Chain A
C-alpha cells in the first residue's frame, strides 16, 4: 500500500490491521459525529439557560413575567424539549453512530447525507423550540414541538436510523457485542415510538384519557427504549475498553438486554397511578416497574464485576469517571423508579418535585454524564488532537457531579415534604407550596453549577476543534495512570 502503512510498523499483524481500520472508521465518522456533538453542546447551553429561567421563576414569580413567550408554561417545555431532542438525542446519535461503526468495523459511507440529516434534526429542534415559545405547544408532555416541526425531526431521524441499521446489516461477520444489540434496538425503537405518537397525538388525535396512556407510553419509552440503550451501550463499550478487561458475563448481558426490552416498555402508566384508566393498565405498569429490578441488577452486577479490582482507573481516566458515575446513577435511579411505582409510596410522591428529582437523576446523572464520558473518549479520535486541559475536565466533572447531586437531593427532600403536606386533608394547599420553597432555591443554585459545567465543556470542545494548546503525545488524564499489566488507554 502507500505511505500510511509504511509509516507504521510494516508487519501485517492483526493488531496493526485493526488500528488502521479504526483510523479509517474514525476518519469516515469525523464530520457527522462532530456535527452532532457540536450542535448537541449548543443545545445543552440553550437548555441550561431555559432551565435557569424556569427554575428561578418558581421562586420569584415576578421574574420576567411581562412577556407571553417567557411565561413559565412555555419556558419549561422549551427547556425540556431542547435538552431531550437538542442535547441528549443528538449526543446519543453521535455516540451511537460512532460505537456502531467501530463495533461493526465498517466505515460510514455517503456521510454527506448524514450531515444533511444532522442539519435537519437541528432545524426541527430550532423551529420546534421557537414554536413552543410562540404559543403553539399542545402541552403534550415530552412532545410539545408543534405539528409543523415534528415531521422535520422524523425525516431527519429516518436517515440516521437507517444508517445505524445498515451499518449493522453490513457488519463484519463474527461475534456481535452487547452494545450492538442495544444500539440496534434503540435505532429501531425510536422511530416506532415517534411515529406512533405523532399520528395518535398530533395528526389524528385520539379522544379522552386514552391520550394520557399513549403520551406516557411514549415519554417513558423515550427514556427506556432510546436513551437507556444508548447509555448502556456506551457503558458496555467504555468500561472494558478503558480498563482493558472483558465484560464479566455474556449471559448476564443477554438476560439484561431481553428483560429490559420486555419490561421497560410496559412502565408508562406508572406516571398515571390513580388516573382515569382501567385498573389493570395501572397494575400492569406497577408490575413491570418492579420487574425492572431484574435487568437493572443484572447490568449492575455485570458492570461491577467487570470493574472489580480496577476502580483505580477512576483516579486517572476522565472517560471512566464520567461513565462509572453514569452507570451507578442508572442503578440508583432505576431502583428509585421501581419503588416510586408502588401505589402506597406513589400516593405521597405523585405530583410533587420528587418526580422532577427522579427525572433529572435519570436524564442527567445517568445519561448526560454517560454521554460526557463517551464524548471525552471519542472526540480526540475524530479531531486528531488531545484535550488541551485536564483542569477543565476536572472542573467540568466536579461542578456537574456536585450540581446534580445537590439538585436531586433538594428536589427529593422538597418533594417528600410537599407530598406529605398534599396528602394531609387538614393542611391547606398553599402550605404544601411554602414548605417546598427553600428546596426550590437550592435547586436553582445547583442549576447555576451545572450551567457553569456546561460552559466549561463547551469552551473546551471549541478549543479541541480549533486544536488549541500544545501538541501532546499522551492522552489528557487526571493523573498518572497506575500501570497494570496492560498499557495505558484513554
Chain B
C-alpha cells in the first residue's frame, strides 16, 4: 500500500480524528458501508431507439433544406425562398378597412380613446357620436384627417364638454392607408355612421399640409373657411363664416368628396 503515491501516509490524517476511537469509527463509517463504485452494464440499445434516431435525422435534413433560405447570410425570411430556389408570393386582395382600422385603433388610439370609443371624462374626448368625427363637409372631414396627421393641442369642445390635453401626431407613424382605415373605422363603429375616408384623400390632405410642424388647435381648425357639400350633415362644432369655396386648391364638391 505505501508504495502507491496516491495514498498519503497516515500522518496526513488529522490528529484529532485519530486520537478518538469513536471518531475513527465514524470517519470510516460512511465509507465502510458504501457500495462499490458505479460500474457499467452492457445491455444493447433498443431497436426502437435506433429507428427513432434515424427518423429524426431524416426529418432534420428535410427541415434544414427547406427552411434555410439557401444558407445565405442575407435571407432572413425562410419562407421567401423555397427548397428549389423559387420565391413565394401570395396575393390576398385588398384589405377590409374595418379590420385594418380596428387593428390600428387597438394599437395606437385605444390607450386614450378606449375600446368603447367613449374616451375618459375630463381627459380624452369621446369618438362616439362626436361632431368632429362625423362631420361630413369638406372641412369637417379634413379636420379629422389633419388632427390624426399633425396632432391636436389646447382646449377643444366635444359634445358640449371641454377637454384640454395633447394628442400626438401620427403622420410620421401611420401610412395613408392606415389613417384612412382607422378613420373609416371610428366613423362606422359604436353606432357611428359616416362615409369612409379614402387613402387618396388622406394623401391629398397630407400633401397640402406638408409644411405643418405643430399640432392643430381648435381655433385654427375652425378658422379655416369651409364649404358645405351636404346640407343634411350634422353641424360642425363652431360655425365659421362660409367663405369662398374656391379656397382649397382642389374643387371641393365632386372629386374631393371623400368616400362614397
Contacts and interface: CB of A to CB of B under 8 A. Distances in A.
Interface of A: 1-5, 7-8, 12, 15, 17-24, 26-28, 102-103, 105-107, 172, 175, 177-179, 236-237, 239-244, 246-253, 255, 259, 276-280, 282-284, 286-287, 290-291, 293-294, 297-298, 301, 305-306, 380-381, 384-386, 425-428, 471-473, 475, 486-490
B73 to A, nearest CB: 5
Contact of B8 (A107, A247, A297, A427): A107
B33 A487 contact: yes
Interface in B184-201: none
B50 to A, nearest CB: 9
B16 to A, nearest CB: 10
A19 B7 CA distance: 11
Contacts of B71: 278, 280
B7 A107 contact: yes
Given A4-B10, A178-B40, A22 B34 contact: yes
Contacts of B106: 425-428
Interface stretch (B17-25, B142-150, B218-226, B251-259): B17-25
A107 B6 contact: yes
B63 A287 contact: yes
Interface string B66-81: 0111111111111001
A22 B40 CA distance: 20
Contact of B39 (A246, A259, A280): A246
Contacts of B90: none
B107 A425 contact: yes
A236 B38 contact: yes
Given A178-B40, A279-B78, A428-B110, A255 B34 contact: no
A315 to B, nearest CB: 18
A298 B49 contact: yes
B121 interface: no
A482 to B, nearest CB: 15
B206 to A, nearest CB: 25
Contacts of A297: 49, 52
Given A290-B60, A426-B102, 7 more contacts: A237-B38, A241-B34, A246-B39, A252-B45, A279-B67, A286-B63, A287-B63
B35 A22 contact: no
A123 to B, nearest CB: 28
Given A12-B1, A297-B49, A287 B8 contact: no
Given A385-B26, A487-B33, A428 B115 contact: yes
B47 interface: no
Contacts of B56: 290-291, 293-294
Contact of A278 (B2, B6, B72, B107): B72
A21 B30 contact: no
Contacts, number: 200
Contact of A4 (B18, B26, B59, B103): B18
Contacts of B17: 384
Contacts of A28: 8
B37 A103 contact: yes
A283 B23 CA distance: 60
Contact of B76 (A276, A489, A490): A276
Give chain A's interface secondary structure class.
helix
Contact of A17 (B1, B13, B57, B74): B1
Contacts of B60: 287, 290-291
B53 interface: yes
A279 B103 contact: no
A287 B18 contact: no
A19 B32 contact: yes
B75 A247 contact: no
A107 B13 CA distance: 13
B38 A241 contact: yes
Contacts of A7: 24
Contact of B34 (A12, A19, A284): A19
Given A249-B43, A250-B40, A287 B33 contact: no
A236 B35 CA distance: 14
B26 A384 contact: yes
10 contacts: A22-B31, A175-B39, A247-B39, A277-B76, A279-B81, A280-B64, A280-B72, A290-B63, A291-B56, A428-B111
B69 A26 contact: no
Nearest to B54: A294
B46 interface: yes
A286 B59 CA distance: 12
Contacts of A380: 30
Contact of A3 (B18, B27, B28, B31): B18
Nearest to A12: B1
Contacts of A15: 36
B116 to A, nearest CB: 12
Contacts of A26: 31
B94 interface: no
Contact of B75 (A19, A279, A286): A279
Contacts of A472: 26
Contacts of A294: 52-53, 56
A4 B10 CA distance: 7
Nearest to B34: A489
B12 interface: yes
A5 B30 CA distance: 17
Nearest to B40: A250
B98 to A, nearest CB: 12
B85 interface: no
B43 A475 contact: no
B32 A177 contact: no
Contacts of A20: 1, 7
A237 B37 CA distance: 8
Given A26-B31, A279-B67, A179 B42 contact: no
B68 A241 contact: no
Contacts of A291: 56-57, 60
Nearest to A27: B13
A255 B54 CA distance: 13
Given A24-B7, A249-B44, A284 B28 contact: no
B35 A475 contact: no
